[in-house]
Structure 1
Amino acid sequence: DRSGVSQETGLLKSWPFAGPKLLWEGGAVGEGFSSVAVFNGRIFTMGDKAGQSYLFCLNAKGGATLWSLQVGKSGGNYSGTRCTPTVDGDLVFALGQFGDLVCVEVASGRERWRKNLANDFGGSSGGWNYSESVLVDGNNLICSPGGNQATALSLNKRTGSTVWKTVLPGGGESHYSSWVISNAAGIKQYVRLFAGGTFGVAADNGRFLWRYDKLGRNTANIPTPIPFGDFVFTAAGYGKGGALLKLSRSARGLSAEEVYFSRELKNKHGGIVKVGNYVYGDFDDRGSPWCADVRTGQVKWRRDSEGQGSGSACVTYADGRLYVRYQDGIMALVDASPQGGFRQISSFKIPDGMKKSWSHPVVCGGLLYLRGKDKILCYEVSDAKRDAAPAQSVRLWTDDTGNFQVKAVFKGVKEGRVILEQADGAILKVPFDRLSPSDQNYLRGL
């Protein structure tokens, strides 16, 4: 769902000094910044090898290569692929750094169709080349050639034929974000950050809906926006900042009203995740993760000097913890609680062989996957002792006001909400920060 939020529970709350157990490393996936997509026992990623960029499919048990497909030429402003493949049922889609877009059969690795965003649609990526992970929605694939012929583009996912294309006013180069889906104000739309700012287009025909240009005219616009309800949180680095937008219908169609803008919420390329009412990201690319209330923009904490790790920080969330990968190859486990300040719990040095350790961590199936140079590393992060613990005891839970109590069993955490099951089977979903301090401390200790 492009949120950077894993639904995994029962994970280790801290790691041994040397890090969690390394189950395997392998894959021979070349050089790149692409992360991994894990689906039905297979791992998909991209990388440069022998002068070409490739799409790789690996066995999730051990990393053996099942197949690979040449996508386009290698290289780029920073040498290596950028795109993380998009998997949709029996198809996988990958975008090379020079605009080569391929549709491939998951099972066989056979190419179904290909396009080039620059040559076929007059696209313009920007100096750091094409980087997005294309969006698949129903029968359509949404991507971003950029430029003044087809800034935004929809293709039939099975044939590659054009469904619609849109020239966005002031959109400019594609830059390096990816599309997300919003249903704000009752209108299904696609939202993305371009060189010219943050844009919304109608999902049915691609018509331009709205633009927020405060993040435009920037060196590079990278973070993917975060839609929720009638709102969109969007941010950029290089001294820009973060903004919360409220989308509403108006006489002219759809308008984007700025709720707040804060330079304290800038983010270059480590990405931002939203958990409940809080967002987490890196302060530009300084290796200073922050937590802020997404409703107000108030920063709750920011790392100053505590813990290991330096340089740009990639952020993923799972089971009450932030998985933070720093540019210098330090992998850190950080308490995601908005209260109590920044607290790094564990860390270890990734033997990834990368000069710039920028690939985002992935938590799936109790495993932590990390992209390295010409390899994937797979770590065991599930905690067998915790798997059965939630089902063993009923607890009296209290809210933060002390006025509401309920007897229930803890079943896990999803999207920042604590899942509680009552004796009659009724399920309650309570925001973590609405629980009493004692209940919050209880959960942190699990």
Structure 2
Amino acid sequence: MLSPTAAYSIGIEPCVNDGKQALNRRETTARQQTNSLEAVPMRIVQSKEQASQKPLRLWPGVVIVVVQWAARFGAPILNPDFTAYGVLAGVGGGMALVVWWLFFSRAAWGERLGVLALMIAAMAATWPFLDASISTGAMGFLFPILAIPGLSLAFVLWAAASRRMSVGLQRTTLAAAIVLPCGVWTLIRTGGFTGSFDNDLAWRWTATPEQRLLAQGDEFFDSAPHKAVDSVRGEAKPPASVPATPVTPQVTSDDPVAAPAGKPFNAAAGSPLDFARGEAAAAALDWPGFRGRDRDGVVRGVRINTDWSASPPIELWRRPIGPGWSSFAVHGDFLYTQEQRGDDEVVAAYRVSTGEPVWKHRDRARFWESNGGAGPRATPTFSGGRLYAFGATGILNALDAADGRVVWSRNVGADSHTKVPDWGFASSPLVVGDLVIVAAAGKLVAYEAATGDLRWLGPDGGAGYSSPHLLAIHGVPQILLLDAHGATSVAPGDGARLWELAVTSSATSMPIIQPALTPDGDVLVGDGQASGIYRIAVSQGTGGWAVAERWKSTALKPFFNDFVVHKGHAFGFDGSILACIDLADGTRKWKGGRYGNGQLILLADQDLLLVVSEEGELALVAAASDKFTELARIPAIEGKTWNHPVLTGDILLVRNGEEMAAFRLSLAGR
């Protein structure tokens, strides 16, 4: 064996060292390669994590909210008729935002599902604490309609502002962005909304106009003690109707529709309409009830000065009144209307000349629903010294018009086995001969005017808020009622069906307006859905009555705003804008003037429309077919005004759910 020294001397030791170094280098290279291979999966995992943490795709959410708010709030400002589409856009925008967040936002799936769950939980938790006007409004959909646009905006603002926040701060601000837009509605109430869905919003703790009125005290002479009567919405079992002691009605020569008591209606003896047109009777009766003598909104024998800049209407008096959508009946110096005063449904008499209260009759009953608020919907009817008033909960009273004394009283809901409709009983009583006829939703009910005894029940037409309408078609008197299916005509004497016409099969049909008769005997009816108007031909032959549709027009779409017929044309509201159509074919002649969902009457001798806007303005519009011409416009009363105006002589009466006023109009030629 060589010694180390010898080995080194011949060069063996350097070779060994070189081998060791080479071996070390190979081991190092192998370790580096191994480490490199092990690092590949790590880089793949890191790449996936980075991909999952891509920035939030925010722009679709921003676009959705901008479009949502422009459609919901901007479009109705430009055109109130777009309000329904705006409301749908507000809710639809919220649904689109949910789709964006769940499928296109790039947020982690836990965040996506968590946000949706929090939104649902926040709205559900808020609902029990809402004011009833919010929780039940718009058939129960008002809260989502009001809350979703604000919730959508707050959420998108949070998504934009929270991208650089810490996780804890993100979650805290997210909860605030969802809970606060929902919770704020617990502090708010609504007094209802207009036909354009403008809500009368107020802080929940502020007094309503009715509460402010009640705080002023009671100025009335009370005509009768309280009676225990079934109240709101027919949820409790109605009491049986108990007529009062029969009282023979006072039949006077100035009563246009009353017949001698105890005698049945006799069509052969002449139509009550013919009797009603006597000038002496009209002068004495003034304005017997809903929409005037013939329920057509037409005033005859009056011409007024249309230059209101020179001769404006003179305010005679103004006073607060309880809520309700009743109009007026007028006889002499008495006007009669219905209103709500706390828990009492009130029929009241005031003086036309001064507005001073005369008497009131009250029933312990209260109807309320969020859309229209509290109070009666129908207008009293004056006939033969009696006042017939139908309340929103179904109470039909016959009262002495002089002092409010009860003659008899019935519960129409109980008599007809009809539940109180969603918007309350709204039919104004119709006196035909010795009968008083009302509509229990879509079913006519007739009582003896003298005693209140039930005479007959008509066919059940389902839902409806229209009033019975007396027409003489080809000389034959008949009672026409618009109901959920279309129109039904019955004989006044026994309620037997004469003819019917189905114009809609929609479950949402809810007719409110009155029919109208054309000069040649055809009938105009709405479809109950504010989507058009029909002209129908009615004829009588050997085989009975025949009905045929002449045309349907979408150029005039009245909802709860009645129209008038004049010189071959119909004038009324197409949505919130006044319009005129040709009765020959239903084509539109003009459309103009924004009055909201107001009401109107026709001064036939003057070719003039007197319009009360939904905001309480008075306007004069020419009843001409060539073009829309507004002649004058002034403010009259404050607040949402759906009530029909009354013009008797030179006295104009207007009211809404908060106040009423009387104006003297300057007559033409004076």
TM-score interval w.r.t. the shorter chain?
0.7 to 0.9
**Aligned counterparts of 2:533 and 2:490: Cα–Cα separation in 1:** 21
- Asked if structure 2 preserves the Cα contact closer than 8 Å seen for 1:17 and 1:348, the reply is no
**Aligned counterparts of 1:225 and 1:106: Cα–Cα separation in 2:** 29
Larger relative contact order (C-alpha < 8 A, sep ≥ 6)? 1
Aligned residue for 2:669, secondary structure, equals: helix
Which letter maps to 1:67?
W
**Aligned counterparts of 1:297 and 1:106: Cα–Cα separation in 2:** 43
Q: What's 2:669 paired with?
A: 386
Unaligned ranges ≥5, structure 1: 388-446
**Aligned counterparts of 1:382 and 1:236: Cα–Cα separation in 2:** 38
Cα deviation, residue 130, structure 1: 0.8
Among 65, 78, 94, the alignment partner of 2:357 is: 65
**Aligned counterparts of 1:14 and 1:292: Cα–Cα separation in 2:** 27
Unaligned ranges ≥5, structure 2: 1-293
**Aligned counterparts of 1:369 and 1:117: Cα–Cα separation in 2:** 29
Would you say 1:47 and 2:339 are equivalent positions? yes
More strand by share: 1
Deviations 1:360-407 (A, max 9, x none): 111111111101344320111133x614xxxxxxxxxxxxxxxxxxxx
**Aligned counterparts of 1:203 and 1:124: Cα–Cα separation in 2:** 24
Q: What's 1:369 paired with?
A: 653
**Aligned counterparts of 1:192 and 1:142: Cα–Cα separation in 2:** 11
**Aligned counterparts of 1:103 and 1:146: Cα–Cα separation in 2:** 20
Q: What's 1:435 paired with?
A: none
Would you say 1:325 and 2:612 are equivalent positions? yes
Which letter maps to 1:378?
A
Deviations 1:94-121 (A, max 9, x none): 1111111110011121011111111222
**Aligned counterparts of 2:482 and 2:364: Cα–Cα separation in 1:** 25
- Percent identity, aligned pairs only? 25
Cα deviation, residue 314, structure 1: 0.9
Q: Which runs of 4+ in 1 moved over 4 A?
A: none
Provide the TM-score with structure 1 as the length reference. 0.78
Would you say 1:118 and 2:413 are equivalent positions? yes
Q: Closer, same or farther in 2 for the Cα pair 1:239/1:163, shift >3 Å? A: closer
Q: What's 1:200 paired with?
A: 489
More helix by share: 2
**Aligned counterparts of 2:536 and 2:582: Cα–Cα separation in 1:** 14
Aligned residue for 2:440, secondary structure, equals: coil
Q: What's 1:393 paired with?
A: none
Deviations 1:402-431 (A, max 9, x none): xxxxxxxxxxxxxxxxxxxxxxxxxxxxxx
Q: What's 1:350 paired with?
A: 636
| Correspondence list, 1:28-427, <5 A | 28-77=320-369, 78=372, 79-146=374-441, 151-168=443-460, 171-173=461-463, 175-217=464-506, 218-228=508-518, 229-236=520-527, 238-250=529-541, 252-283=543-574, 286-303=575-592, 306=593, 309-318=594-603, 319-339=606-626, 341-352=627-638, 354=639, 356-383=640-667, 386-387=669-670
Cα deviation, residue 10, structure 1: 3.0
Q: Closer, same or farther in 2 for the Cα pair 1:238/1:165, shift >3 Å? A: closer
Cα deviation, residue 325, structure 1: 1.5
- Asked if structure 2 preserves the Cα contact closer than 8 Å seen for 1:19 and 1:347, the reply is no
- Asked if structure 2 preserves the Cα contact closer than 8 Å seen for 1:17 and 1:346, the reply is no
Cα deviation, residue 17, structure 1: 8.5
Deviations 1:273-319 (A, max 9, x none): 11232211101xx321111222322221111xx5xx44212111123
Q: Closer, same or farther in 2 for the Cα pair 1:82/1:129, shift >3 Å? A: same
Q: Closer, same or farther in 2 for the Cα pair 1:269/1:326, shift >3 Å? A: same
Provide the TM-score with structure 2 as the length reference. 0.53
Q: What's 1:21 paired with?
A: 314
Cα deviation, residue 72, structure 1: 4.8
**Aligned counterparts of 1:179 and 1:373: Cα–Cα separation in 2:** 24
Cα deviation, residue 215, structure 1: 4.0
Q: What's 2:188 paired with?
A: none
Q: What's 1:4 paired with?
A: 297
**Aligned counterparts of 2:642 and 2:579: Cα–Cα separation in 1:** 18
Deviations 1:344-371 (A, max 9, x none): 111122233x2x2111111111111101
- Asked if structure 1 preserves the Cα contact closer than 8 Å seen for 2:395 and 2:411, the reply is yes
**Aligned counterparts of 2:617 and 2:528: Cα–Cα separation in 1:** 22
Count of matched residue positions in the alignment of Structure 1 and Structure 2: 370
Which letter maps to 1:294?
L
Deviations 1:252-284 (A, max 9, x none): 42121111111222210111111232211101x
Cα deviation, residue 157, structure 1: 0.9
**Aligned counterparts of 1:45 and 1:357: Cα–Cα separation in 2:** 15
Cα deviation, residue 41, structure 1: 1.7
Q: Closer, same or farther in 2 for the Cα pair 1:125/1:382, shift >3 Å? A: farther
- Asked if structure 1 preserves the Cα contact closer than 8 Å seen for 2:524 and 2:535, the reply is yes
- Asked if structure 2 preserves the Cα contact closer than 8 Å seen for 1:33 and 1:359, the reply is yes
Deviations 1:229-254 (A, max 9, x none): 53111114534211111111245421
Which letter maps to 2:531?
K
**Aligned counterparts of 1:310 and 1:184: Cα–Cα separation in 2:** 33
**Aligned counterparts of 1:293 and 1:124: Cα–Cα separation in 2:** 39
**Aligned counterparts of 1:195 and 1:43: Cα–Cα separation in 2:** 33
- Asked if structure 2 preserves the Cα contact closer than 8 Å seen for 1:8 and 1:364, the reply is no
- Asked if structure 1 preserves the Cα contact closer than 8 Å seen for 2:642 and 2:656, the reply is no
- Asked if structure 2 preserves the Cα contact closer than 8 Å seen for 1:91 and 1:106, the reply is yes
Aligned residues: CA RMSD: 2.0
Deviations 1:115-146 (A, max 9, x none): 11112220245311111111101111111124
Q: Closer, same or farther in 2 for the Cα pair 1:165/1:22, shift >3 Å? A: same
